[in-house]
Structure 1
Amino acid sequence: MEAHNGLSAKIVEEAGFRGLWASGLTISASLGLRDSNEASWTQVLDVLEFMADSTRLPILVDGDTGYGNFNNVRRLVKKLGQRGIAGVCIEDKLFPKTNSFIGERQPLADVDEFCGRIKAGKDSQPDDDFVLVARVEALISGHGMDEALHRAEAYRAAGADAILIHSKLSSASEILTFAKHWERRCPLVIVPTMYYGTPTEVLLEAGLSNIIWANHNLRASITAMRETSRRIFETQSLTDIEGRVASVKDIFRLVGNAELEAAEKRYLPARATAKAVILAATGGDLGELTGQRPKCMVDIRGQPLLRHLTDTLSNAGIREISVVLGYGKETVQLPGVQTVDNDRYAETGEAYSLSRAIDRIDGEAIVVYGDILFRDYILDGVMAAQGDIVLAVDALGAKMKPPGRIRDLVRADLRFSGRYLDDEPAHLIEMSSDIAPEDIAGEWIGLARFSQQGTAWLREEIALLEKEGLLDDADMPLLLSRLGAKHHVVIHYILAHWLDVDTLSDVGDAMNFI
C-alpha cells in the first residue's frame, strides 16, 4: 500500500498490509511538486528515512529512472541500504522522468543501457535480501506486447529480482496477456490503478505475485482536507468538524506518545498527574435497565456507561479514578477503578457524594458526573484551559433540550461569541435550574477541572457547607455557584458533542454516540 511519509506508513501498517510502496508521485505531491524529478533524490531519501523509522514493514521505493545512469543507480542503492529500505523499483525511461499517465508514446531507455543500471544496482546492494524491481513501460508508452516481453526478459537476465509490468488501459487485458506469455519466469508486480475493476483473484490466478495500490492514501487525504478546509472556511466554526475527524489523541497514539510517556517514567523524575472523581451514587430512572443496577452500569454497545467514561479519562492520562457509588453499588465491577461508598445516597446530594471522596484528590483533579459521555477533545480543552477552576459549558445546550431537562444552567460574565479567539475569558456568575432565559449562557455538562489551588478552595467550600448544615442537601450547582462568588471560575465553552443519559431515549442516543 502506498505511503508518502512516516504517518501514512504507520497507518498502512496498522491496516494490516505486508509491505509499503513509497510512491514517487505521492511523495512529490505531498511536497507540492510535480512527479518529474523536481524533488531531488536526496530529498526523497530524507522522507524515506522517516518512513523507515516509523514502521517495521519492508519498503519498496519508487526509484523513478534511478535518477540518472548506472553511477546514480549504484549510489542510490547504497544509500537506500544504509536506511534499511527493502528494495527499489526503477523504470526504463529517460531522466528526468515524466509521469507515465502524462502524454503519449514517451521515449524509453536503450535496453542495453538500462540493463547496465540493473547490474550496477545489484552489484551495489547492501545484502542479499535487497530487491531490485525493473519496471517495463513498453505497454503504457504504446510500444506493444512484443517489445514489453523483449525488455522484460533482458532485464530478468541482467539480474532484476522482479518485473513490474504497467498498463494504462481500463481493463487488465494487456496485463493478463503479458502474464500468460511470461510463464512465471520471475515474479510479476502490477499497479492496477487504471484497471481497478478487475477482481484481485483473477490477477493472482494469472500468476501475478505482488499488487501495489499506488496512490490512494494521498488521494483520500486530499479529498478529506479539501472538504474540511471548505467547511471551516464557510462556517468559521469547528462545530461541524470535531467528532468527524481523527482526534488529536489518535495522532498522539499513531506517532508513539505512549512510548515517550513510558520512557519519561523510566528516565525522568516522577511528576504529579491529575486524578478524577466520578459522581455515580444515584440510581437513575430507566425502568428495567436500572431495576437492579445504577445508571452508570447500563450497557452501551457491550460496555457499561461507566467504562466508556473511565476510558475517556484514561486516554487523557488520568490514572487514579475514584467512583462514588450508592444505589446498586454491589453490581459495579470495574477493574482498575477505586470506589467510595455513599450509603446515604437516597437522602443526600452531589456535594455530599463529592465530600466522601475529597481525601482521594489532591493537586489537579477532575470532577465529572457518572452519566455523561463526551468526545476526547472536550476533556483536552478543559485540561488545557487556563484557570484554577474550569467548567465545560455547552453554549448551545440550553437551546437544544426541551424545557425541564436542564438543571445546570449557567449565567456568565461573557457569552460565547462564536469567534476562534476571545481576548477575555468567561467566568461563572451563577449556576442553577432557574435562570432567566435572557441570562442563560449555556449548560454545564457535568465536567470540571480543579488545579491544586482550585482543589484547596473546593475543600474549604465543602467544609463550610458542612459547618453551615447545608452539605447534605447541596448539589453541584450550589457548590460551584458559591465558589464562583469567591474565586474566578472559568467557563470553557463547547458546542455539543456530549450527552447525558437520563431517559431511555438517551440510551439509544448513547449507542449512536459511541
Structure 2
Amino acid sequence: MLTTPASKRQSLAARLAKPGLLVAPGIFDLISARLADRMGFDLLYMTGYGTVASYLGLPDAGLATYTDMLARASAFAQGTSTPIIADGDTGYGGLLNVAHTVRGYEAGGVAGIQLEDQEFPKKCGHTPGRRVIPMEDMVEKIRVASDARSSSDFLIVARTDARTSLGLDEALRRAQAYAQAGADILFVESPESEEELARIASSLDKPVLVNNVEGGRTPVLPKSRLDQMGFKLAIYPATGFLAMGKALEEVYSMLQRDDAPRSLEGKLYDFEAFSKLMGFEQVWEFDKAHARD
C-alpha cells in the first residue's frame, strides 16, 4: 500500500538518525522503481543518467529539462512506497529556478533532492570535461533551496564535482561550506582511491553519501567497508540499467536464433508475476466487482 509523501520523509529522517549504512539502488523507470520498491530498501535513488537515458534516449549532459525530470520524479514517487532522493542536476538555472525546482520536487512527492555545483550544461559525474561554478554561487543555491522547502524533512543533498578539476582539498572545502549553508547530506563526487573515500567520510560532520558506479572513477568497495569508514548512504545509480542493458542484449540476441524458445528458458521474469508487479491484480478485482451478471 502506497504511503504519503510526508510519511515517507519522516521514515527516511528516522532511519538516517539510526546507526548503519543505507543502501539505495538506482531507479530509472517505473519497472525498476516497482521492483526495487518491493524489496525492502530504506531508500531509492532516482538516477539522472538512467532516467534521461530511459526516458529520452539521450546522454546525461544537461539535455533533459526541469519539466522532464519533475514528471519522472513525480511518477516514481506516486508509484512507490519507499522514500526517493531524486537528481535535480544544477537546479535548472539561477537562484529563482532553484527555488522553483525544490518546490516542484517536494510537491511531486520525493523525499529529497540532489543539487550539484557544476556549470550548466552539467555532465555525468564519472565522465570528463566537468566544470564547477564558484563555491559562493553554490552556497547561495543551497541557502535558497533550504529556504524554499516547506518541510525540513525534505532533504537537500549537496554534491560537489570539484574533486576532478580542482582536487580533493577544494572539494572538501566546498562540502563543508554547503553543510553550513543548509545541506542535509553531503556528496563529494568521483574520489579516485580508497584513501580518498576514507578521508571524505571522516572529514565531514553531516551524513555523507558515496556514489558507487561500476566502471566509474571511484573504487566500488564492500558495504561493510563503507559503513566502517563512516558513510551514511551508498547509492548504486548505474547497477540497474547496466544489468538491464546486459540482459536485454543477451535475450534479444537469442531471438535471432532458431531455438529461441528453448534458449530463453530461465532468462525471463515470470509473466504472471510481472503482471501482478504492474498492478493487474487490482484491475482483475475491479473487473470482478463491476462485472454484469
Q: Same fold (TM over 0.5)?
A: yes
Match for residue 144 of structure 1 among 167, 173, 182: 167
Which one of 117, 138, 143 corresponds to residue 141 of structure 2?
A: 117
Compared CA separation, residues 161 and 202, structure 1 to 2 (3 A): same
Q: Which residue of 1 aligns with 2:132?
A: 108
The verdict on how the C-alpha distance between 1:131 and 1:37 changes in structure 2, with shifts beyond 3 A counting, is same
Task: Provide the aligned length of Structure 1 versus Structure 2.
Answer: 265
2:43 aligned residue: 19
Q: Which residue in the other structure is 1:245 paired with?
A: 268
- Hey, what's the Cα distance between the residues in 1 that align with 2:61 and 2:244? 22
Tell whether the 8 Å contact from 1:60 to 1:85 is kept in structure 2 after alignment: yes
Q: Kindly indicate whether residue 103 of structure 2 is the aligned counterpart of residue 78 of structure 1.
A: yes
2:156 corresponding residue in structure 1: 132
Cα offset, 1:239, TM superposition: 3.5
Give CA deviations for 1:440-463 in whole Å, capped at 9, x if unaligned. xxxxxxxxxxxxxxxxxxxxxxxx
Change (3 A) 1:236 1:45: farther
Cα offset, 1:197, TM superposition = 4.4
Please give the per-residue CA displacement for 1:65-90, whole angstroms capped at 9, x wherever unaligned: 11111111111111111211111011
What is the alpha-carbon distance in structure 2 between the residues aligned to residue 91 and residue 157 of structure 1? 16
Could you tell me which runs of 5 or more consecutive residues in structure 1 were left unpaired when the two chains were aligned.
Answer: 272-514
For residues 111 and 168 of structure 1, what CA distance do their matches in structure 2 show? 18
Aligned mate of 2:225, from 180, 197, 202: 202
Partner of 1:178: 200
Query: How many Å apart are 1:118 and its aligned residue?
Result: 0.9
CA shift in 2, pair 1:258/1:120, >3 Å? same
State yes or no: 1:160 paired with 2:183. yes
Aligned position for 1:6: 30
Q: Name the SS for the 1:132 alignment partner.
A: strand
CA RMSD in angstroms comes to 1.8
**Which AA in structure 1 matches 2:231?**
L
Q: Is the 8 A contact 1:59 1:85 kept in 2?
A: yes
TM-score normalized by the length of structure 1: 0.49
Contact 1:6-1:52 within 8 A present in 2 as well: no
> Which residue of 201, 212, 229 maps to 1:192?
212
Aligned counterpart in structure 1 of residue 53 of structure 2, from 29, 32, 35: 29
Q: Per the alignment, do residues 243 and 101 of structure 1 end up closer, same or farther by CA in structure 2, a change over 3 Å counting?
A: closer
Q: Contact 1:167/1:174 (CA < 8 Å) preserved in 2?
A: no
* Equivalent in 220, 223, 229 of residue 243 of structure 2: 220
- State percent identity of aligned pairs: 28
Distance in 1 (alpha carbons) for counterparts of 2:69 and 2:259? 36
State which structure, 1 or 2, has the greater radius of gyration over its C-alpha atoms.
1
- Could you list the runs of 5+ residues in structure 2 that have no partner in the other structure? 1-24
Instruction: State the SS of the aligned residue for 2:156.
Output: strand
* Aligned mates of 1:69, 1:197 — CA distance in 2: 34
- Determine if contact 2:212/2:236 at 8 Å carries over to the other structure: yes
Show the counterpart of 2:291. Answer: 269
Asked if structure 1 preserves the Cα contact closer than 8 Å seen for 2:125 and 2:189, the reply is no
- Partner secondary structure for residue 203 of structure 1: helix
- Larger CA deviation: 145-154 vs 192-201: 192-201
Q: CA deviation at 1:101?
A: 2.1
**Alpha-carbon distance, 1:242 to partner:** 4.7
Deviation digits for residues 418-439 of structure 1 (CA, Å, limit 9, x no counterpart): xxxxxxxxxxxxxxxxxxxxxx
Contact 2:126 2:190 in 1 (8 A): no
8 Å CA contact 2:46, 2:87 repeated in 1: yes
Q: How big is the shift at 1:55? A: 0.6
Contact persistence 2:91–2:97 (CA under 8 A): yes
Is 1:69 the equivalent of 2:94? yes
Could you tell me how far 1:168 is from its partner in structure 2?
4.6
Deviation at 1:240, TM superposition (A): 2.1
The one-letter code sitting in structure 2 at the alignment partner of 1:114 is M
User: Would the alpha carbon gap of residues 254 and 111 (structure 1) be closer, same or farther in structure 2, given more than 3 Å must change?
Assistant: same
- For 1:222, the aligned partner's letter is G
Partner Cα separation in structure 2 for residue 71 and residue 137 of structure 1? 22
Aligned in 2, Cα 1:69/1:245: closer, same or farther, shift over 3 Å? Answer: same
Greater relative CO (CA pairs within 8 A, separation 6+):
2
The letter of the residue matching 2:268 is V
Following the alignment from structure 1 to structure 2, what is the Cα–Cα distance between the partners of residues 188 and 236?
50
Give the Å deviation of 1:270: 4.8
CA distance in 2, matches of 1:82, 1:264: 32
Per-residue CA deviations over 1:465-502 (Å, capped at 9, x if unaligned) read xxxxxxxxxxxxxxxxxxxxxxxxxxxxxxxxxxxxxx
Structure having the higher helix fraction is 2
Alpha-carbon shift at residue 15 of structure 1 (Å): 2.3
Please tell me whether the aligned partners of residues 87 and 113 of structure 2 are also in contact (alpha carbons under 8 angstroms).
yes
User: In the alignment, what sits opposite 1:97?
Assistant: 122
| 1:126/1:7 CA distance change after superposition, 3 Å | farther
- TM-score, with length taken from structure 2: 0.85
1:329-478 matched pairs, under 5 angstroms? none
Give the secondary structure class of the aligned counterpart of 1:178. helix
Q: What SS does the aligned partner of 2:262 have? A: coil
Asked if 1 retains the 8 angstrom alpha-carbon contact of 2:26 and 2:239, the reply is yes
- Partner residue in 1 for 2:8: none
